[in-house]
């Protein structure tokens, strides 16, 4: 029996749509898709635990092919009673006095605008998982800034998330080993790139590791949601009017109420 083709994916990323296409096209070729922590994704590729990985970029490309697929909207997660909850969108400068409950290196834009007090309080926080950090956010003791899909994955009734401007979007990519010649790699790449079943297939190893997949992001965008099988729509919320300071949490003037 042929060994199962193994694919891993980091939190908030789901390959559901692609897996359904694989099952339809390759009924005799078993495929295993498993969630994995971000810090383990590349390691599992290198040690052969997984053949391919859907992960967040950038990563160390040594010995790997990497195809960028799509971008994720950054959002801030706050308690339901936080002032930010009243707005459709918030700028990173408006969060300069907030306690960040994650490594500031993950959000360098916040580190650049944070007040000394906020930086000091943030640095004193213990290391937490995203789930743990969201629990602390619910108590009103801080914020986290994560991709939209991750916020949806860890959503709870006592927190809300809002898009953040001034923070670079994160990118999701597909990675595999340069020395792996399994023909199933090319089949999955074709599915992710949106090739039809009858379309010709190019040689995957000829693609430069930093190239964007043809048809991305539209053709390569997942069809459904977070690691809990929820829909991973990109953005979708209207933007508050910010001209002249209106709609800014720090302006002291009322902005539009955010949609719930």
Q: pLDDT confidence of 239, banded at 50, 70, 90?
A: very low
Separation CA 255–CA 91 (nearest Å): 13
User: What is the mean pLDDT of the segment spanning 126-132?
Assistant: 94
Q: Which residues contact 34 (CB under 8 A, 6 or more apart)?
A: 6, 7, 8, 9, 50
**Cβ–Cβ contacts within 10 Å for residue 2, how many?**
8
- Pick the closest to residue 89 from 79, 74, 102, 101 (CA basis): 74
Q: pLDDT confidence of 249, banded at 50, 70, 90?
A: low
What does DSSP say about strands 159-165 and 5-9: parallel, antiparallel, or unpaired?
A: unpaired
**Cβ–Cβ contacts within 10 Å for residue 81, how many?**
11
Q: What is the model's pTM?
A: 0.73
Question: 5 in helix, strand or coil?
Answer: strand
Q: Which residue in the block uniquely carries the two structure tokens 């009734």?
A: 157
Question: 228 in helix, strand or coil?
Answer: coil
Separation CA 12–CA 229 (nearest Å): 9
Exposed/middle/buried for residue 40 (C-beta within 10 Å: 0-12, 13-18, 19+) = middle
Please say if the pLDDT value at position 68 is more than 80: yes
Separation CA 116–CA 223 (nearest Å): 42
- Pick the closest to residue 142 from 123, 156, 168, 157 (CA basis): 123
pLDDT reported for residue 199: 65
Q: Which residues contact 128 (CB under 8 A, 6 or more apart)?
A: 101, 102, 136
pLDDT reported for residue 2: 65
| Cα distance between the two ends of the chain | 50
Please say if the pLDDT value at position 187 is more than 50: yes
> Greater confidence, 222 or 30?
30
User: What is the mean pLDDT of the segment spanning 107-112?
Assistant: 97
CB 188 within 8 A of CB 18: yes
Separation CA 3–CA 26 (nearest Å): 14
- Pick the closest to residue 161 from 103, 235, 110 (CA basis): 235
pLDDT reported for residue 159: 98
Please say if the pLDDT value at position 56 is more than 80: yes
CB 77 within 8 A of CB 158: no
Please say if the pLDDT value at position 237 is more than 70: no
The phi, psi pair for 83, rounded to 5°, reads: -60, -30
pLDDT averaged over every residue in the chain = 82
pLDDT digits (tens, 9 = 90+) for 158-167: 999 999 999 9
Please say if the pLDDT value at position 122 is more than 90: yes
């Amino acid at each position: 029996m042929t060994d199962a083709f193994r694919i891993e994916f980091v939190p908030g990323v789901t390959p559901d749509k692609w897996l359904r296409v694989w099952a339809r096209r390759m009924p005799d070729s078993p495929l295993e898709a498993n969630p994995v922590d971000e810090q383990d994704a590349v390691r599992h590729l290198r040690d052969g635990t997984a053949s391919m990985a859907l992960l967040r970029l950038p990563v160390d490309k040594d010995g790997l092919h990497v195809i960028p697929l799509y971008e994720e909207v950054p959002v801030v997660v706050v308690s339901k009673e936080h002032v930010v909850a009243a707005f459709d969108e918030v700028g990173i400068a408006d969060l300069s006095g907030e306690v960040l409950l994650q490594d500031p290196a993950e959000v360098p834009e916040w580190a650049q605008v944070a007040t000394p007090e906020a930086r000091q309080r943030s640095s004193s926080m213990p290391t937490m998982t995203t789930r743990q950090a969201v629990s602390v956010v619910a108590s009103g003791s801080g914020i986290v800034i994560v991709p939209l899909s991750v916020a949806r994955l860890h959503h709870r009734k006592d927190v809300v998330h809002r898009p953040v401007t001034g923070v670079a979007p994160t990118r999701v990519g597909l990675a595999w080993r340069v020395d792996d010649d399994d023909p199933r790699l090319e089949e999955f790449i074709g599915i992710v790139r949106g090739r039809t079943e009858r379309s010709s297939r190019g040689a995957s190893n000829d693609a430069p590791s930093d190239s964007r997949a043809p048809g991305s992001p539209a053709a390569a965008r997942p069809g459904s949601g977070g690691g809990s099988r929820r829909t991973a729509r990109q953005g979708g919320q209207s933007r508050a009017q910010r001209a002249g300071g209106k709609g800014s949490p720090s302006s002291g003037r009322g902005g539009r109420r955010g949609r719930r």
